[in-house]
């Protein structure tokens, strides 16, 4: 029997459509416990490949007959070996092409809405890491917000849509993933905007992103307005696009809020975070659709695979927006925080241009979940 | 550290460093030390987990440039 490769894009479709899947994850126990493919209808078995070298008999009885079986490892090699061994036992199993590395890099573009004058807004969902990026397109011009490292995906997408990328924004200096913003700007000649308060140690040229900055794309002038909302970092800036959408960066998520500690200053920034969430955002229209830079759990995805919800609904449902007591809020966002993201210090240095690791090292640095939120 | 045997697994991708380590270990006596040289970044966590599950002891590891060295004592 020949074994099949399953692409990350096929796994993504299954996750979004909630289709049944059985994952035999053959990475070591720690790697599996730290980070895995998440999905509402996925069953798992974790048995390291090195415990299967003498034979796969020990797992055969645990594999279901009524679901597709996918063998997963870090890079692919071990999952091919195990899938072949299963095939020798007469079991039909696929392996994940490119392993968890490919899963971490896969982006699923989802259209989240229309802009006036025929424009479109896309969200790029990085299912494997929970990162969300955006592209607004109008009449042959595009703006990109919080692009992830895989710059070519954004460049190709704009080209397919016949759009020229004019503006590239990062809502803040990211600590959990490497930004693709600078590479996209260099490839297209677009302006690369960074909040200047986050960019004090940045060693390349950028355009300062200040409160109230406005840019327009396309001749119908889709407006993108910058809105200073510190707290995750001191420079964190939100965007209001076309009076309809609120891009919150890492300040406000669907089911959680930003953490203030990744640049090392939790106690200093907790007050800013409180003010952004409980004062600045409160003044905005409830009808705005919140588009964050991350999701943490699959339950935050809508049925179409997008991550978006009305601001008014978040004020009702998001626990982090409903803590009346200031001290309780302070404790929640500064104590018992989840572990910091893998290699976050080096990721920040890379995003500031201070170090330039090769692509393979950058991949390794981004392994694991994003952990930018507090629930 | 003095090793009884050295395994060169440089340039090999997962799962081969472990497959070869295991094969070498089978031919060694309990208490003997195998030194493994590898370049695969995943080898570190996997060798530690494998040694533990097989009752061996990972004595030490070092990183010199791109090359990782591991010393495992057979259990």
Domain that includes residue B53, residue range: 5-73
Phi-psi region of B8 (alpha: psi -120 to 50; beta: other; left: phi over 0): beta
Mean pLDDT of A110-119: 92
Peptide bond into B15 cis (omega under 30): yes
* A135 and A165, same domain (yes or no): yes
Which pLDDT belongs to residue A308? 97
Sheet holding A289-292, edge to edge: A214-217, A222-228, A237-241, A245-249, A289-292, A309-310
Tell me the catalytic residues of A: 73
Sheet holding B5-9, edge to edge: B5-9, B33-38, B67-73, B57-64
Which pLDDT belongs to residue A334? 87
The DSSP H or E segment spanning A373 is: strand A373-374
Listed residues A58, A81, A102: the one ending a domain? A102
B46 and chain A in contact, CB less than 8 A: yes
Q: Do A78 and B49 touch (CB under 8 A)?
A: no
Domain that includes residue A94, residue range: 4-102
CB-CB contact of B46 with A28 (8 Å): yes
Summary mean pLDDT of chain B: 93
Predicted confidence band at A269 (pLDDT cuts at 50, 70, 90)?
confident
Q: Which residue of B has its CA nearest to A73?
A: B14
pLDDT digits (tens, 9 = 90+) for A224-245: 999 999 999 999 999 999 999 9
* CATH number for A23: 3.40.250.10
The strand pairing partners of A216, in sequence order, are: A223
* A322 and A204, same domain (yes or no): yes
A77 and chain B in contact, CB less than 8 A: yes
CB pairs under 8 A between A and B: 41
Count of the separate structural domains present in chain A: 2
* A150 and A10, same domain (yes or no): no
* A113 and A98, same domain (yes or no): no
Lowest mean pLDDT among A138-147, A182-191, A326-335: A326-335
Distance between CA A125 and CA A127 in Å, rounded?
Answer: 6
The strand pairing partners of A72, in sequence order, are: A25
Mean pLDDT of B3-13: 94
Count of the separate structural domains present in chain B: 1
Mean pLDDT of A185-200: 96
Q: Which residue of A has its CA nearest to B46?
A: A28
Q: Which residue has the tokens 């896969």?
A: A106
Between the CA of residue A297 and those of A39, A72, A77, A367, what are the distances in Å?
A: 9, 20, 28, 17
Distance between CA A159 and CA A310 in Å, rounded?
Answer: 31
**Chain A nearest C-alpha distance from B42 (Å):** 8
* A253 and A331, same domain (yes or no): yes
Mean pLDDT of B1-7: 91
* A201 and A327, same domain (yes or no): yes
Which pLDDT belongs to residue A221? 78
Phi-psi region of A134 (alpha: psi -120 to 50; beta: other; left: phi over 0): beta
B50 and chain A in contact, CB less than 8 A: yes
Q: Do B22 and A53 touch (CB under 8 A)?
A: yes
Within 10 A of A256 (CB to CB), how many other CB atoms are there?
20
Higher-pLDDT residue of A220, A137:
A137
Between the CA of residue B21 and those of A25, A30, A361, what are the distances in Å?
A: 22, 21, 25
Listed residues A71, A102, A133: the one ending a domain? A102
* A169 and A196, same domain (yes or no): yes
* CATH number for B42: 3.30.110.40
Q: List, as ranges, residues 128-167 from A with C-beta within 8 Å of B.
A: none
Cβ partners under 8 Å of residue A297, min gap 6: A38, A255
Listed residues A68, A102, A136: the one ending a domain? A102
Distance between CA A337 and CA A342 in Å, rounded?
Answer: 14
Chain B residues with CB under 8 Å of A78 CB are 14-15
Closest to A370 (Cα-Cα) out of A203, A213, A232, A211? A232
Chain A residues with CB under 8 Å of B56 CB are none
* A302 and A169, same domain (yes or no): yes
Cβ partners under 8 Å of residue B68, min gap 6: B37, B38, B39, B43, B44, B61, B62
Residue A368 has pLDDT above 70, yes or no: yes
Which pLDDT belongs to residue B41? 84
B31 and chain A in contact, CB less than 8 A: no
pTM for this predicted structure: 0.89
* A73 and A212, same domain (yes or no): no
Question: Which residue in the set B13, B22, B41 is minimally distant from A364, CB to CB?
Answer: B41
ipTM: 0.90
A78 and chain B in contact, CB less than 8 A: yes
Summary mean pLDDT of chain A: 93
CA A215, chain centre distance (Å) = 24
Both structure tokens of A133: 């990026």
* A194 and A312, same domain (yes or no): yes
**Chain A nearest C-alpha distance from B40 (Å):** 11
Of all residues in chain A, the percent with pLDDT exceeding 90 is: 82
* A83 and A192, same domain (yes or no): no
pLDDT digits (tens, 9 = 90+) for A249-262: 999 999 999 988 77
Predicted confidence band at A1 (pLDDT cuts at 50, 70, 90)?
low
Both structure tokens of A244: 């309809």
Within 10 A of A54 (CB to CB), how many other CB atoms are there?
9
* A87 and A133, same domain (yes or no): no
Which pLDDT belongs to residue A337? 81
CB-CB contact of A293 with A252 (8 Å): no
Which pLDDT belongs to residue A335? 84
């Amino acid at each position: 029997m020949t074994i099949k490769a399953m692409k990350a894009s096929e796994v993504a479709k299954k996750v979004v459509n909630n289709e049944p899947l059985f994952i035999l994850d053959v990475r070591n126990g720690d790697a599996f416990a730290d980070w895995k493919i998440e999905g509402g209808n996925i069953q798992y078995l974790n048995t390291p490949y090195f415990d299967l070298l003498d034979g796969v008999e020990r797992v055969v009885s645990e594999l279901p007959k009524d679901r597709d079986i996918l063998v997963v490892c870090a890079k692919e090699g071990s999952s091919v070996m195990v899938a072949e061994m299963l095939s020798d036992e007469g079991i039909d199993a696929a392996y994940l092409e490119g392993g968890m590395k490919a899963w971490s890099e896969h982006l699923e573009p989802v259209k989240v809405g229309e802009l006036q004058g025929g424009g479109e807004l896309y969200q790029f969902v990085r299912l494997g890491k929970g990162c969300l990026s955006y592209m607004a397109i109008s009449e042959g011009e595009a703006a990109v917000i919080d692009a992830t490292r895989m710059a070519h995906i954004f460049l190709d997408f704009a080209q397919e849509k016949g759009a020229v990328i004019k503006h590239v924004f990062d809502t803040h200096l990211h600590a959990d993933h490497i930004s693709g913003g600078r590479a996209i700007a260099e490839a297209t000649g677009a302006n690369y905007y960074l909040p200047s308060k986050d960019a004090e140690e940045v060693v390349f040229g950028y355009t300062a992103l200040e409160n109230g900055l406005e840019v327009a794309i396309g001749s119908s002038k889709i407006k993108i307005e910058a809105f200073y909302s510190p707290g995750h970092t001191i420079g964190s800036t939100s965007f209001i696009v076309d009076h309809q959408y609120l891009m919150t960066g890492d300040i406000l998520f669907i089911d959680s809020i930003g953490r203030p500690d990744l640049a090392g200053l939790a106690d200093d920034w907790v007050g800013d975070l409180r003010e952004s969430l409980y004062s600045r955002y409160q003044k905005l229209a409830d009808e705005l659709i919140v588009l964050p830079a991350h999701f943490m759990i699959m339950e935050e995805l809508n049925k179409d695979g997008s991550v978006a919800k009305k601001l008014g609904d978040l004020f009702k449902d998001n626990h982090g927006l409903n803590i009346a007591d200031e001290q309780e809020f302070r404790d929640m966002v500064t104590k018992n925080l989840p572990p910091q993201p893998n290699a976050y210090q080096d990721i920040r240095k890379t995003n500031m241009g201070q170090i330039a690791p090769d692509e393979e090292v950058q991949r390794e640095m981004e392994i694991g979940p994003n952990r930018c939120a507090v629930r | 550290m003095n090793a009884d045997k050295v395994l060169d697994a440089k340039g090999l991708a997962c799962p081969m460093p472990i497959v070869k380590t295991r094969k070498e270990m089978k031919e060694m006596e309990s208490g003997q030390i195998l030194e493994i040289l590898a370049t695969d970044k995943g080898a570190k966590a996997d060798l530690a987990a494998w040694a533990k599950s097989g009752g061996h002891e990972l004595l030490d590891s070092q990183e010199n440039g791109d090359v990782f060295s591991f010393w495992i004592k057979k259990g």
